[in-house]
Amino acid sequence: MKYRIQFFLLFAAFALVLISVLHLFVGQIPLSFADFSAAFFKNSPLSTNELLMREFRIPRLIMAIVGGGGLALAGMLMQTLFNNPLAGPYVLGINSGSSLLVALSTLTGFTFLGTQLNIVFAAIVGAFIFGMIILLFSLSVKSHISLLLIGLMLGSFTFAIVSILELSAAAEQFKSFAVWGMGSLQQVEMSQVPLILLFFFGSVLSSFLLIKPLNMLVLGEDSAVMLGLSLRKTRILIISVTALFTGLITAYCGPIAFVGLAVPNITKLLFRTQQHAWLIGGNLIIGALFLVSCDVLIQYLEETVHLPLNALTSIIGAPFVIFILIKKVT
């Protein structure tokens, strides 16, 4: 079992390195390794290609890795917390919470902090609030399908509110929010990368600190309590880490569907283990590989068709959700 997991981890890591190299150098404007090197080490004014590498290609790749790995980890945390393979930030409506507060901030001009962190803070707070709402419902609703329907209803509710806000927004604000809502990795600037990585690695570290509680939850809530686990504290911690991942990624990339649902299930299918020390690493790498691959495909098709990131992940992820539903019913 251990060697199987190590094989898939190494294979996924190697594939991630290869696809990341492809992501950097392939596009409408082909770039070279010299451009990559100059983007980091050249002090004199950069050429157009070198500037393109530093300000667009590198931040876009970093955000693809952060987005894929972060959403996959958030999905894994939700699936373990609710003991539900259908759980995920998008399906349960946690993304909707982020979208609602981002819409409130973007379309009305309402500010939470009055700084460049405004949208990030709004997205994280929205994700946390909706995560707690789902958690409260889960205490009384035991059916996996019912919880999924509640998440979908929360999504419909926020969609209605956002639609009303869009109708009253100025044209410039509406355009900005509409572009954000389609999902894109192109909105990140190099100056924002350090802050993104700080939030991301902090959330990853928090996930590793939750390994023992997560492994205990797999045994069932009653068994976990008998082993000394504080359910209330663990639930709040898991929701908080999930909100950090979801809010950060939604703020900078827009809502991205189904990554947090599909990747954790694929990882469990490949690894065949419930040990979260392995699952955390696997979800990070496979999630990053998934989203970087999607973005490479988007860049490859760019001359033919403009494909929003959220649309592509939905095209891939929606059939996977149907497959899981059919498998559970049968």
Amino acid at 111: T
pTM of the model: 0.90
The segments of the chain whose pLDDT lies below 70 read 1, 32, 35, 39-44, 111-117, 325, 327-330
Q: Which residue has the tokens 């609602």?
A: 100
Q: Are 42 and 232 in contact (CB under 8 A)?
A: no
DSSP conformation class of 92: T
* Predicted pLDDT at 1: 67
Q: What angle do CA 311, 313, 82 make, to 5 degrees?
A: 125
* Predicted pLDDT at 280: 96
Q: Are 256 and 249 in contact (CB under 8 A)?
A: yes
Q: Tell me the pLDDT tens digit for each residue of 249-289.
A: 998 888 888 899 889 999 998 898 899 999 999 999 999 99
Domains of the chain (ranges; CATH) run 2-329 (1.10.3470.10)
Q: Are 219 and 277 in contact (CB under 8 A)?
A: no
Tell me the C-alpha distance between 21 and 224, whole Å: 44
Q: Tell me the pLDDT tens digit for each residue of 14-40.
A: 999 999 988 888 777 777 677 677 766
